[in-house]
Structure 1
Amino acid sequence: MATPDPTDATNSTWTGMVVVEDTALAVTDTGGPGVPVVYLNGSYADQSSWKRVIADLGPGFRHITFDERARGKSKRSADYSFEACVRDVDAVLAARGVQRPILVGWSYGALVAVHWADRNLDRAVGVVSADGAQPYGLTDEEGRERIRALFGKMRFFMPLLRPLGLAARMSADQHAEINIELNDLCAALAPVLERVSCPVRYVLATGANLGSTEEEMEAVRSSLDPVLARNPNLRVSAKVASNHSKILSKDFQAVAQAVRDTAAGRDQQGWSSR
């Protein structure tokens, strides 16, 4: 398939592969002159997670989704690190000719979004976090072993979970190492959140999630309170009834509204459509 001109802001959807380093990422770009919104998936999810949010927002926005390395239709890689995920955002934006996006992330994707925004202060219009990017993590050896044990138990089910966007084409050990790195980065996230200068809007879930109790998840979410108090750019847009896993399927309207609010602020600042 020939790659079209990424600066062609037509309403024609482009689907293709973006080559980056030793892999290729499956990307979908709806095109059009609307505000560009880049969606960043959960740790092992694929771009299908966003279909309800995208449908709710409609064609007035330019929607760009992609599968991370070894997720969805993307190819495998020798590097599944967090830094590789941040570099992949740069690669997709460059390939599609987007300069100033709104980043919308779920879980792991929200962490990628705030780190990218912190490193690209002149480009990030805003971040919407769907129950992610919270400064709390399991960092002791007990927590690490708990994560490894959880994915060890799941290893036989991963082939069944992959078509549902709940597992990647990786080993159980690789799944666990991604989660361990995620916890370390979240535990160290407070300084990033305190200095980020673009709007960051949180949509927080409630209740327990796989491998965690309700009390643990509430501790994760309450870890936001100190940074919310210190940085006025951070705000909770909504706290919804669904849990972490179901937030994009059950409370997609709240996520979409946070995107609209972020875009409205962008228009007031006079950002260009790219």
Structure 2
Amino acid sequence: MTRNSSSATGSDWTGMVPVEDTALAVTDTGGPGIPVVYLNGQFATQGYWKKVIADLGPGYRHITYDERARGKSQRSADYSFEAAVRDVDAVLAARGVDRPLLVGWSYGALVGAYWTSRNPDRARGAVMVDGAFPYDWLDEAMEQRIRTLFTRLGWFLPLLRPTGLAPRMSAGQQAESNIEVGRISRERELGPVLDSITVPARYVIASGTSFGSRGDEQERIRAGLDAVLTRNPNIRISAKVDSNHGAILRKDFRAIARAVREIEAVRDPDGSPTR
């Protein structure tokens, strides 16, 4: 089902976008404004962005979507990180979007960083919200910890699926997705990705703990960004806020919206809007 018709000059559109063996639930406000594509947390849904979207207002074209087996999107045989990056391209193509500004939270920040690095001529900029920190936090003990956690949650997760609070993925699939995040976040993997970003990029960083981690551990992970900031002048910290990882979209949506506006305001040396 779709609602209305949307293009660069049209109105709201909500529908399913076929991609590979699945279909993604997508919402596009349309209009002539800068297209902002929002990339969700690992098991989150597009509804998490409503406060950021409201703060930015109708002057932007807001595009949200649920990743595979999340929210209203359909299941798939492929829940890999590379599939998530490919899905950005699928949504952009389906909605006819050129030069988006990507805003990603947590897992979505990683997706945004990788896509922006690989598409320097297509990306307007990127905002990474408390994610995409190059740090070697994954070892064999942590892998086992993750698998044990999701095995214990396995009986409970199906009860949450009807509410939209859990993806339609098995506990094992969710565990492997978490482990993959650890692998691609290692400094030797993610560091070069961030170093190669040539468009304006901003970080909005949370404080304190996130689920399953200690506060000092989380702050060490965030500090992994420091070396990147010295190497790549295109990347800056827009704000470090008081909210923790889970509450940042709800409590510090204004800081995220400000980071989007910062990128919009960047100018090339000749005074024209960047890129």
Task: Judge same fold: TM > 0.5, yes or no.
Answer: yes
Counterpart AA for 2:47: S
1:102-161 Cα shifts (integer Å, max 9, x gaps): 000000001000110111110111100110111024332111001111222222332344
Q: Secondary structure at the match of 1:78?
A: coil
Which residue is 2:13 aligned to? 14
Which residue is 2:241 aligned to? 240
Are the structure 2 counterparts of residues 255 and 160 from structure 1 closer, same or farther at C-alpha, using a change threshold of 3 Å? farther
**Residue 7 of structure 1: CA displacement?**
4.0
Which residue is 2:66 aligned to? 67
Question: Using the alignment, how far apart are the partners of 1:216 and 1:158 within structure 2?
Answer: 26
Q: Secondary structure at the match of 1:65?
A: strand
Alignment of 1:153-232 (within 5 A): 153-162=152-161, 166-187=165-186, 188-232=189-233
Q: Secondary structure at the match of 1:60?
A: coil
Aligned partners of 1:155 and 1:172 also within 8 Å:
yes
Are the structure 2 counterparts of residues 271 and 265 from structure 1 closer, same or farther at C-alpha, using a change threshold of 3 Å? closer
Question: Using the alignment, how far apart are the partners of 2:168 and 2:267 within structure 1?
Answer: 37
Which residue is 1:109 aligned to? 108
Aligned partners of 1:135 and 1:220 also within 8 Å:
yes
Aligned partners of 1:137 and 1:185 also within 8 Å:
no
Question: Using the alignment, how far apart are the partners of 2:16 and 2:8 within structure 1?
Answer: 17
**Does 2:76 correspond to 1:77?**
yes
Counterpart AA for 1:49: Y
Q: How many matched pairs?
A: 271
Question: Using the alignment, how far apart are the partners of 1:87 and 1:204 within structure 2?
Answer: 26
Are the structure 2 counterparts of residues 20 and 72 from structure 1 closer, same or farther at C-alpha, using a change threshold of 3 Å? same
Question: Using the alignment, how far apart are the partners of 1:64 and 1:204 within structure 2?
Answer: 23
Counterpart AA for 1:14: W
Counterpart AA for 2:102: L
1:82-109 Cα shifts (integer Å, max 9, x gaps): 0101110000000000010000000000
RMSD: 1.9
Are the structure 2 counterparts of residues 184 and 207 from structure 1 closer, same or farther at C-alpha, using a change threshold of 3 Å? same
Unaligned runs of 5+ in 2: none
Q: Comparing both chains, which one has the higher relative contact order based on Cα–Cα distances under 8 Å and sequence gaps of 6 or more?
A: 1
Are the structure 2 counterparts of residues 2 and 50 from structure 1 closer, same or farther at C-alpha, using a change threshold of 3 Å? closer
Alignment of 1:29-68 (within 5 A): 29-68=28-67
Are the structure 2 counterparts of residues 126 and 251 from structure 1 closer, same or farther at C-alpha, using a change threshold of 3 Å? same
**TM-score, length basis structure 1:** 0.94
Are the structure 2 counterparts of residues 110 and 173 from structure 1 closer, same or farther at C-alpha, using a change threshold of 3 Å? same
Which residue is 2:93 aligned to? 94
Question: Using the alignment, how far apart are the partners of 1:83 and 1:40 within structure 2?
Answer: 14
Question: Using the alignment, how far apart are the partners of 1:55 and 1:5 within structure 2?
Answer: 21
Which residue is 2:137 aligned to? 138
Counterpart AA for 2:233: P
Question: Using the alignment, how far apart are the partners of 2:93 and 2:4 within structure 1?
Answer: 13
1:188-226 Cα shifts (integer Å, max 9, x gaps): 200111121111100000001111000110011101001
Are the structure 2 counterparts of residues 97 and 6 from structure 1 closer, same or farther at C-alpha, using a change threshold of 3 Å? farther
Percentage of pairs with the same residue: 63
Question: Using the alignment, how far apart are the partners of 2:30 and 2:267 within structure 1?
Answer: 19
**Residue 162 of structure 1: CA displacement?**
3.9
Aligned partners of 1:150 and 1:211 also within 8 Å:
no
Q: Secondary structure at the match of 1:189?
A: helix
Which residue is 1:257 aligned to? 258
Question: Using the alignment, how far apart are the partners of 1:81 and 1:65 within structure 2?
Answer: 20
Aligned partners of 1:44 and 1:165 also within 8 Å:
no
